[in-house]
Amino acid sequence: MTFDLYAWKSPRDLDADGIGALLEEWQEAGGDPATSPFEPSSDVGWFYLELTRDEPELGASSDALPSTSKTPIWLGTTPDPPPARVVKIPVTAGTQADVLDSVYGLAAKYDLVVYDTRNRGIHLPLDELAEYASATFWPGGAIQAAVAGGIGLVIAVVAWFLGIPVLSGIAIVIGGFLFVMAVYTFVHEGRKAVRARRTGGEPPTGG
């Protein structure tokens, strides 16, 4: 089955009918990405730049200007792409699952909205990843956080008593950071569980 994915930054508050109407009106007017009903964002430009470099076989199109630079993006010397509105990604029966994972992974990286024309599904990959991480926190993630926090506390306490110049200071900072992050994680996830109970939802459980 052939279908299209669309990725954009804003608007984010439309339902499937609203997005469908916007796309239909835009496509009837010619479907020019430069006249799309979406708001320009440099995140969309970066998404398009990375996607076309990582997965050139997808044939994604956008109002973002193509880059001719061969410099790896992670080296930080690639010029910033201009703001873009939307990226259209054609998906065919031959598109591999890992390629789609790359699309959604990049969309999460830049916090974009992804619309699937096949099932009229609207996705917010970053929010969905956060929800998944929260849902799988108990008990596996909680145990890992507790272990990391405990190790950090032990490192900090031992380093404090040893009092080795420089090395103890570094160990205390590292151990303290691990402990504080573990505490923060428990507080954050605990608040989510309390909110879920207050709103009638179920607290996160591991799958």
User: Which tokens hold the place of 170?
Assistant: 């570094």
Spell out the domain ranges in the chain.
Answer: 3-129, 136-198
User: Which tokens hold the place of 143?
Assistant: 């145990």
User: Which tokens hold the place of 195?
Assistant: 């909110």
By the 10 Å C-beta count (0-12 exposed, 13-18 middle, 19+ buried), 64 is classed as buried
pLDDT at 199 over 60: no
pLDDT of amino acid 66: 60
pLDDT at 201 over 50: no
51, 106 contact by CB (below 8 A): yes
- What pLDDT band is residue 202 in, cutting at 50, 70 and 90? very low
Does the reported pTM lie above 0.75?
no
Picking from 127, 130, 113, 133, the residue whose alpha carbon sits closest to that of residue 47 is: 113
Axis crossing angle, helix 97-109 with helix 42-54, rounded to the nearest 10 = 150
pLDDT at 203 over 60: no
* Three-class DSSP category at 181: helix
Lowest mean pLDDT among 51-55, 148-152, 183-187: 183-187
